[in-house]
Structure 1
Amino acid sequence: MNQVYGMYKKLTAKNDKAGRAAFSAAFALKAPYFRTVAPMIQTMEPHRGVVKIKKWWGVQNHIGTVHAIAIANGMECAMGLLAEATTPDDMRWIPKGITLDYVAKTPGDIECVAETTPEDWDKEPPFQVDVKVTGRLVKDGTVAVEGIIPIYVSAKKKK
C-alpha cells in the first residue's frame, strides 16, 4: 500500500474530524499550492478522490463566486488522492495536463470529485490514465466545472 494512502487510512480510521483535518493539512503540504484552497479531504480510495472547498474570501473572484482556478486546484487535489491510492507501489504518476469546462457560477462551497475505472489502469507501462473530474456545488449538486486530467503512469526507476 502506498505510504500516503496508508496515512489516510490510519488518520481517518475513527472517522473523526480531527483525523480528517490532520490528513488534509498534511496532504496540502505535499503540493503547497493545494493550501491555497484549504482542501478538506472527504474520500481517498482506489479510483476515487473527493475534496471539499469552502467558499471564503481567499478563493473568491471579483464577482463573489469561487474562482475557477481555485476549483481547478481542488480538482487536481482530488485527482492526486485517486492517483496515490490507485497507482501500484512499483509505479509512479505525474499529471500531463488539464482540460476544464467552466459551466456554471459557484456561489457556495464546492465538492471536487475525481474518478477512474479499474480498466483505465489495465495497460502495460508506460500509459496514460484520463481522470474524469467534476466540481459541484455542495448545496444542490449543480456541476460547475467538468474536465479531464491525464496522468502519465510509468515504472519506478530501480535504485
Structure 2
Amino acid sequence: MASTYHLYQRLTGRPFGRRVFSTAYAFKAPYFASVRPFVTQMAPNHASVRIRKRRAVQNHIGTVHAIAVANGLEAALGLLCEASVPPGMRWIPKGIELHYLAKVPTDVRCEARTEPSDWAGEPPFQVDVRCSAFVDDGTEVVRGVIPVWVTARPHEVLR
C-alpha cells in the first residue's frame, strides 16, 4: 500500500493531481471534508492547505469560523506527520493550543512546521508541531502548537 506522501508525490505532477489528492485526503479523513482543504504542499517538516471562504465555514459575522481554521490546521498537521514520521512509527495528536490573533475575512492558508531534529527521538516521544494560519494579504490570524505523540508501530500479525 502506497503511503500518503508517496501518493501525493505521484499525483501532484499530473493534471488536476492536487485536486484529486485533496479530495481523496478529505475522503480518507471525512471530518476534514467540512472545510474542503486544498493541499498546496506536503513535505517532510512542512505542509500547507488552503480553505476557501464559503458559507459552510462562516460564523455569524461572516468571517471564517475559528474551528474551521483549527480543522484546516489539523489537516495540515496530518499531512506533515505522514511525510515526516520515521519508518516503523505512528503518530496521533494529543491536543491543540491555538491563539486567534485576528478575524479571518478571506480564504485562509493553514500551515504546519517542524524541524528534522523533532523526529529524532526514541519512541515514545512527543513532537510539538507549530501551526499558523494566514489570510490573503499575508497576515497571520491564528498561531499555535499541536502536540503529537509518536510511538512504535506494532508488528502486524501474519496470517
Whether the 8 Å contact between 1:2 and 1:85 is mirrored in structure 2 is no
User: Structure 1 stretches of 5 or more lacking a match?
Assistant: none
Whole-Å separation in 2 of the counterparts to 1:75 and 1:107: 17
Query: After TM superposition, what 4+ stretches of structure 1 lie above 6 angstroms from structure 2?
Result: none
Secondary structure of the equivalent of 1:119? helix
Shift of 1:89: 2.4
Equivalences for 1:127-146 in 2 at 5 Å?
127-137=125-135, 139-146=136-143
Which residue identity does 1:12 align to in structure 2? T
**How much identity, in percent, do the aligned residues show?**
53
Q: CA-atom RMSD, angstroms?
A: 1.2
Equivalences for 1:26-65 in 2 at 5 Å?
26-65=24-63
Q: Which TM-score applies when normalising by structure 2?
A: 0.95
Aligned residue for 2:95? 97
Counting matched residue pairs gives 156
Q: Which TM-score applies when normalising by structure 1?
A: 0.95
Aligned residue for 1:121? 119
Secondary structure of the equivalent of 1:65? coil
Whole-Å separation in 1 of the counterparts to 2:58 and 2:101: 17
User: Structure 2 stretches of 5 or more lacking a match?
Assistant: none
Secondary structure of the equivalent of 1:112? strand
Whole-Å separation in 2 of the counterparts to 1:153 and 1:88: 9
Whole-Å separation in 1 of the counterparts to 2:130 and 2:72: 13
Alignment equivalent of 1:147, drawn from 141, 144, 148: 144
Secondary structure of the equivalent of 2:42? strand
